[in-house]
Amino acid sequence: MYKGIFWCYLTCFDDDMFGVTVLPVKVKCDLSGNVLEKAEFSSKSGDNFNHEIEWEKRKASARICRRHTYNHYPRGRVEIKNGKIKIFANPVIIEEADAKESVVKAFELEEVKDKISWIADGSKHYCFAVDAMSGAFLDEEVDE
């Protein structure tokens, strides 16, 4: 299992086939939240990642990061502490079953799905560009 941050967007696989893609920044941990591998955290708290900083780090290797700002797509955070799993995310992610399932798979949380608390955060912190323009992220396809 992993904790970390993520973005969600649609990827076009064929002329009429779309799928939710999760771009994660994650670190392996146990159910108590103890990190099991080396990680360089960028969050103010020092125990997770910061969306803006991590997006900038990926600009050299990910075209999607060069084409848009860190807040272009809906995003969220997976926290694991003391046996509890909380996923904070823009409500548009939580409202989409495919998006939620993609996050669970990306962070390898299938075995603990019943322990996940999904927390919709519609605050400015998780606001994204398409949302701010009255669109929904599932209306925009991405060619990585």
- Predicted local distance difference test score (pLDDT) of residue 31: 96
Which among 85, 127, 87, 117 is positioned nearest to 103, based on CA atoms? 87
Over range 18-25, report the average pLDDT.
85
Instruction: Please state, rounded to an integer, the average pLDDT across all residues of the chain.
Output: 84
Whole-number Å distance between alpha carbons of 33 and 39 = 13
**Predicted confidence band of residue 76 (pLDDT cuts 50, 70, 90):** very high
Q: Is 87 helix (H, G, I), strand (E, B) or coil?
A: strand
**Domain extents for the chain?**
2-142
Which among 9, 23, 35, 13 is positioned nearest to 93, based on CA atoms? 9
Determine the residue type at 121.
Answer: D
Most confident of 31-45, 105-119, 124-138: 105-119
Whole-number Å distance between alpha carbons of 12 and 116 = 29
- Predicted local distance difference test score (pLDDT) of residue 17: 59
**132 phi/psi in degrees, rounded to 5:** -65, -20
Over range 40-55, report the average pLDDT.
88
